[in-house]
Amino acid sequence: MKSSKMKEYTAMSVEDLKKELKELKQELFKLRFQHALNGLDNPKKIGAVRKNIARVNTVITQKESNV
């Protein structure tokens, strides 16, 4: 899963990556909120979303430094 996500992210433009980052942050907020209120069926999903946010941030930094 990791390599396929990274391939997807590297193929995206910086603008698309920023949109994806915004969506991932919203999803993380919702997951944390649900977890605080009544718990999640799969709390590991929070960690997966955080890792995807880190991946997107990494690709954005790489693309911006190369330009």
Q: Please name the residues in contact with 24: beta carbons below 8 A apart, sequence gap of 6 or more.
A: 49, 52, 53, 56
Global confidence as pTM = 0.89
Spell out the per-residue pLDDT of the chain, length 67, in tens. 467 888 999 999 999 999 999 999 999 999 999 999 998 889 999 999 999 999 999 999 999 998 7
Dmax (CA) of the chain: 45
The number of residues making up the chain comes to 67
Distances in Å between the alpha carbon of 45 and those of 5, 15, 17, 59? 15, 25, 20, 21
Nearest 5°: the CA angle 17, 22, 25 is: 120
Q: What is the pLDDT of residue 1?
A: 47
Domains of the chain: 2-66 (1.10.287.310)
